[in-house]
Amino acid sequence: MFQKILIANRGEIAVRIIRTCMYMGIETVAIYSEADKDSLHVQLADESVCVGGSRSDESYLNMENIITAAINKGAEAIHPGFGFLSENADFAKLCETCGIAFIGPNSEVIRQMGNKSEARKLMMSSNIPVIPGSDGVVGNLEQAKKIANKIGFPILIKASAGGGGKGMRVAQDLASFAKAFETAKTEALNAFGDGSLYLEKYLANPKHIEFQVLCDKYGNVLHLGERDCSIQRRNQKVIEEAPSLINKELLLKMSEATIKACKAVKYENAGTIEYLVSGDDFYFIEMNTRIQVEHPITEMITGKDLVKEQIKIASGEKLSFVQESLSFTGHSIECRINAENPKKDFMPSPGKVSLFHMPSGNGIRFDSALFTDYSVVPYYDSMIGKMIVHGETRDEAIKKMRAALEELVIEGIDTNQTFLYMIMIDPDYTKGNFNTSFINQKINSLLGYKDYE
């Protein structure tokens, strides 16, 4: 087992990883930018190193400085969390070259699955359903138009190196295709340094379902159930829950496809296979080769610490349990708390938190790096916490989430707290009548609460 791990991340995920390392008796090294010198993850870690300026490219994306910090501090492994360098094949390769364990899959798998068009090809060769689309990257606009006409509109244009909804546009017809294509290309180039695109048939109003997997170095592969991530805004997840309300027969087929996909790529460590579900059909969309933001809801229904399992796998241990021994208990929901103002088109809201109160109680968990007088800086993602609840039933979990959101106090900045509460009391959400278009279709009513300022 590792004696010391460097966490190449910040905020709530860095805090969450550090806490598991504490439980496991593993020393931790935090990295931080100049803007994060007073952050909670820096205070909790055994050691800390400033790796650069406030901007991400100066610090949390600075591979050379991060590797140097790990070597100088004697860290045997690096946990990348999510975002930043977590799915960067070059960084994983650099870790391998320097003899530092990367807590995740190897660099070749990250490279293979990180290119969405290549991942799509691999799934097709393994007879896993994919959405009708282009056979890999499209070379130019004229070629893309021909393929789009063949597939049929509407068309989803996606960045090959994409993630987080960036480099993604929908073209309803040929007339709007050129502008959507060029916009997606420019956004992908700016976000990922790679402007390559591929095309898919756009599915109207699907469900977004993903399966959590764990795979060790000895060929043992299992899944820890599914999560419903359909409550989204602009292709970014807002609320997730586990288990989903999908019928058992379809879930069995999806779980079998998930295991097959992991074996096809010889996957190791924690990962997620994501699908779109339309009617009784499901389609592979991508594999995330890292821990997910929404992993806590899987932990709540399985009782497994996924970060602990990641560390054990990376250190060379076999999985200590098998598929048949897993049990799934109750229902769990996660709401992403963002520093943003929904009334102003979800504009980010950096600033000082003048008062912070975190709810607690049976089945209530709040993952965050917040504290009173903490300054939310404008340089990074606006997510500042995750409210997670667990109940015996979905109805109980919803009621628990309402109570937790009511009790949560974050003053000094704007948040989406009330917006999330409005979803929790929406009749369609409580009945399970929702898909990826839920927020878009209900945005006016979700923002219409009379006391919502």
CA distance 443 to 223: 34
Is 227 a residue of the active site? no
> Using N-to-C axis directions, what is the helix angle for 89-97 and 63-73, rounded to 10°?
30
Q: Which helix (H) or strand (E) holds 428?
A: helix 427-431
Q: Which two tokens stand for residue 339?
A: 């520093």
pLDDT tens per residue across span 386-437: 999 999 999 999 999 999 999 999 999 999 999 999 999 999 999 999 999 9
Place of tokens 């899987």: 298
From the list 291, 287, 323, 298, the residue with the least C-alpha distance to 128 is 287
Weakest-pLDDT range from 117-126, 293-302, 342-351:
117-126
Is residue 136 within 8 A of residue 119, CB to CB? The reply is no
* CATH number for domain 207-446, candidates 3.50.30.10, 3.40.50.11540, 3.30.70.260, 3.30.470.20: 3.30.470.20
Rounded CA separation 29/11 (Å):
14
According to the model, what pLDDT value does residue 453 have?
45
CATH 3.30.470.20 residue ranges for the chain: 207-446
What average pLDDT does the segment 179-188 reach? 92
Asked if the model's pLDDT at residue 450 lies above 90, the reply is no
pLDDT digit string, tens, across residues 318-337: 999 999 999 999 999 999 99
Cis (ω within 30 of 0) for the bond into 342?
A: no
Options 1.10.3720.10, 3.20.20.80, 3.30.1490.20, 2.60.40.10; which CATH number does 132-201 get?
A: 3.30.1490.20
- pLDDT at 111 (0 to 100): 95
pLDDT score for 142: 92
Q: What is the mean pLDDT of residues 43-48?
A: 98
pLDDT given at position 164: 65
Q: Largest alpha-carbon pair distance within the chain?
A: 60
Residue 341 has pLDDT above 50, yes or no: yes
| Residue 333 burial (10 A CB sphere; 0-12, 13-18, 19+) | buried
Percentage, residues of the chain above pLDDT 90: 87
CB 215 within 8 A of CB 262: yes
CATH no. of 4-103: 3.40.50.20
Tell me what the mean pLDDT of segment 245-258 comes to.
97
Under a CB-based contact definition with an 8 Å cutoff, are residues 271 and 287 in contact?
A: yes
Instruction: Give the active site residue among 16, 111, 120, 290.
Output: 290
pTM for the model: 0.91
- How close are the terminal C-alpha atoms of the chain, in Å? 50
Task: Please determine, for residue 165, whether its predicted confidence score (pLDDT) is greater than 80.
Answer: no
Numbered ranges of CATH 3.30.1490.20 in the chain: 132-201
Q: Residue 85's pLDDT is what?
A: 97
Instruction: Tell me what pLDDT residue 214 has.
Output: 98
Report residue 124 CA to chain centroid gap: 24
User: What whole-number distance in Å separates Cα of residue 304 and Cα of residue 236?
Assistant: 26
